[in-house]
Structure 1
Amino acid sequence: MTVPAFNSVAWFEFGTDQPEKVKEFYGELFDWKYVLNTNTPGVTYHSVMPPGAQQPTGGVWDSEGAFPDYAVFYVLVQDVAETVERGRGLGAEVLMGPVSDSAGFAFARLRDTAGNHFGVFSVPAA
């Protein structure tokens, strides 16, 4: 299994109030399968499993109408808090985080100086 390099795009996410439609469309288009992720209590999140993948590469978050639909990419970083502070120093707006789930993944979302929404994440220490 290949581990993504730090500072590379390594995850994507859809936030939607119509998760079944999103999963059906992309499942049929790309033959994706979905696995319910239970690491964040109170959140309905399905991990995306592309054909032949040994681990998920993205997710579908059921927003339940709490926010507008979106699709966003995440960059794998060594330290989420440090990256958020560096981004803030460069003029980024912090939209969420840093937060961690029960499995030890840390993540945050920012808006760059041109208005683009993106995320950063780190994996639990081995």
Structure 2
Amino acid sequence: MQAPAYDTVSWFQIGTDDSEGAQRFYGGLFGWKFTLDPDSDGYDLIKFAGAEAPSGGIAHTGGGAENHAMFLVVVEDVAAACAAAEKLGGKVTLAPTTAGSGLVFAYLNDPAGNQFGVFTPPAVPAT
């Protein structure tokens, strides 16, 4: 499987306080399949019919987090993308964070207040 090109939308996330309801809705509407993310508690992976790998996720937002839907762009350097966004009038709402898997991500708002994310996948070990 080929890695997505940098600076392209390659992941999406739906945040909801009703994960089971979201799965029923999107699964019924689009035929999406869901599995628990083995690397993250409270996150379900979304896979499209015929896809080799997941393309999105459902974040369980219980505990006061807002429900949301957002896209994420794969970038070469998350910190550099955050700095560039701020120079262009955007705002970093979640500073660069490294997940246990090595994935680095951040959440930003564009100048109009729309939330989106940027991420760099974990490094692939050399073989």
Shorter chain as denominator, the TM-score bin is: over 0.9
- Deviating beyond 4 angstroms after TM superposition, the runs of 4 or more aligned structure 1 residues are none
Corresponding residue of 2:111: 113
Q: CA RMSD in A?
A: 1.2
Q: TM-score, normalised by structure 1?
A: 0.92
Matches within 5 A, 1:1-126: 1-40=1-40, 43-126=41-124
What is the alpha-carbon distance in structure 2 between the residues aligned to residue 115 and residue 14 of structure 1?
18
Q: Alpha-carbon deviation of 1:114? A: 1.4
Unaligned runs of 5+ in 2: none
How many pairs were matched up? 124
Q: Alpha-carbon deviation of 1:61? A: 0.5
Unaligned runs of 5+ in 1: none
What is the alpha-carbon distance in structure 2 between the residues aligned to residue 6 and residue 31 of structure 1?
28
1:74-121 Cα offsets, whole Å, 9 max, x none, are 001011111111111212111112111111111110001111111001
Matched-pair identity in %: 40
Is residue 16–residue 65 contact of structure 1 (8 Å, CA) maintained in 2?
Answer: no
| Partner SS for 1:91 | coil
Q: TM-score, normalised by structure 2?
A: 0.92
